[in-house]
Each structure stands twice: as structure tokens, then as C-alpha cells.
Structure 1
Amino acid sequence: MSLFSALFPPDDVVEELHDALRPFRRAYPRLRWQHPARWHVTVRFFGEAEPADQLDGLDRVTAPVLRLRGSGTFRKVLWIGVDGPLGELGEAAHVPPDWRPHVTVARGAVLPHVEFTGREWTATEVALVRSDPAEGYTVLDRVRLSTSNA
């Protein structure tokens, strides 16, 4: 079991990306496409840790307005980039300096380039997630980010 903190895009953003990837799923059926319910932006990976205070202080972070944009690959991963002001969240979450916010959408040996620009969305909460190979993802806790309406 490993833990990570994550932003989950809202349903309309997930649906928009899912629709945009449809031709790629047809053209590259041998890729291991992630199920849209698993799409998230990892904020920080904690590894084999017990749930504790991993989300402490994040409630003071201003909820950023984000947009999924562009794509890239590393190792055998196809990802969609995240555009927006994530510096405050990254600093509060103590992310490593090489943090590159993204959504993993597929894995495989031959990966396409995807041109994509999605709609804007506000990340209103950070989730603490347990990842288990047998059980998948389980959200253990959530913290709301600060909004002007709070």
C-alpha cells in the first residue's frame, strides 16, 4: 500500500478529455489506457506510509484555476499536462523541485503525441489516496482549499 495526495478533475473535465482521447484509444489499442475514474494530478507521493498529517496546512492554500493542456511522455507513460498557478500548493505540500503536474492517461511502448487544451476548472480540494494493487485507489481524507467564497 502506498499513499499520495492528489487533485481530481471534475466530471466535466474528465469527460472532455475522455472524448478527446477516443481516436487515440482506437488508433493505439495496445496501450494500457487508464480508466478515467483513476485520472488525477499527483501532488505528492508519500510511498509506504501510514495516514497521518499529510494534508495539514493545505486548507490555507488558495484554490487554483487549472486547465489540462498539452501532453508528453516519460518512461512508458503518456501524460496530459496541467496548466495553472500550482506554486503555492506545491510549496505548502513540500513537493520535490522536479514536480511536473500531469494526469497519466496511458502506458505502453509506443506513445502518441496528443494536442489537447481543456476547459478551466478550479481545484477545490486535495485528497489523500491509498493505492493498493489489488483494491485500486481509496480516498482516505480530503481537505478543501481556500476559496474567495469561503
Structure 2
Amino acid sequence: MSLFSALFPPDDVVGELHDALRPFRRAYPRLRWQHPARWHVTVRFFGEAEPAGRLDGLDRVTAPVLRLRGSGTFRRVLWIGVDGPLGELGEAAHVPPDWRPHVTVARGAVLPHVEFTGREWTATEVALVRSDPAEGYTVLDRVPLSTSNA
């Protein structure tokens, strides 16, 4: 079991990306394509840590307006990038300075380049997620991000 905090894109954003990747799934059937229900932006990975207090202070972070855009690869992973003002969230969550927000969509040896620009969406909450190989993802907690302009 491992823990991480994450932003989950809304259903319409997931659907838009799913549709855009359809020709790639046909052209690259040997890739291990992640199920859209698992698509998320990892904010911080905690490993085997206890969940208590992992999302403290995030309720004061302003909900950022984000957009999925472009793609990249590393370590046999195909990802879709995330554009938007994530600095405040990164600081509050104590993420490493080299944090590159992304959504992992596939894994494999030969990875395509995907030109994609999605619609804007507002990340309204951060979820604390437990990942278990046998059970999948379980959301343990959710913290709403601030939508006030004060």
C-alpha cells in the first residue's frame, strides 16, 4: 500500500482526453493503457506513510484553473502535461522543486507523441489516495480548495 495526494480531472475533461487518445490506442495496442478512472495529477507521493495530517493546510490554497496540454515520456511512461498556476498548491503540499504535473496515460516500450490541448477546468479539491496492487485506488480523504477571491 502506498499513499499519494492527487487532483482528479472532472468527467468532461477525462472524456475529452479519452476521445483524443482513441486513435493512439488503436495504433499502439501493445501499450498498457491506464483506465481513465485512474487518471490523476499526483501532487505528492508519500509512500508507505500514515495518512494522518497529509492534507493539512491545503484548504487555504486557491483552486487553480488548469488545462491538459501536450505530452511527454520518461521511463517508459507516456504522460499528458498540465498547464496552470500550480505554484501555490506545490508550496503548500511541500512538493519537490522538480515537480512536473502530469497525467500518466500509458506505459510501454515504444511511446507516441500526442498533440493535445484540452478544455480548462478548475481543480476544486485535493484527494488523499491509497494505492494497493490488489484493490486499486481508494480515496481516503478530500480537501476542498478555496474558491473565494478574498
1:102-113 to structure 2, matched below 5 A, reads: 102-113=102-113
Task: Report the counterpart of residue 49 of structure 1 in structure 2.
Answer: 49
Task: Report the counterpart of residue 19 of structure 1 in structure 2.
Answer: 19
Q: Deviations over 1:32-63 (max 9, x none)?
A: 00000000000000001111100000000000
Runs of 4+ in 1 over 4 A off after TM superposition: none
Identity %: 97
Cα offset, 1:149, TM superposition = 7.4
Aligned pairs, number: 150
* d(CA) in 2 for partners of 1:7, 1:89: 11
TM-score (norm 1): 0.99
Q: Deviations over 1:82-141 (max 9, x none)?
A: 000000000000000110000000000000000000000000000000000000000000
Cα offset, 1:148, TM superposition = 2.3
Structure 2: gaps (5+ residues): none
> Considering only aligned residues, what root-mean-square deviation do their CA atoms show, in Å?
1.0
* d(CA) in 1 for partners of 2:49, 2:26: 38
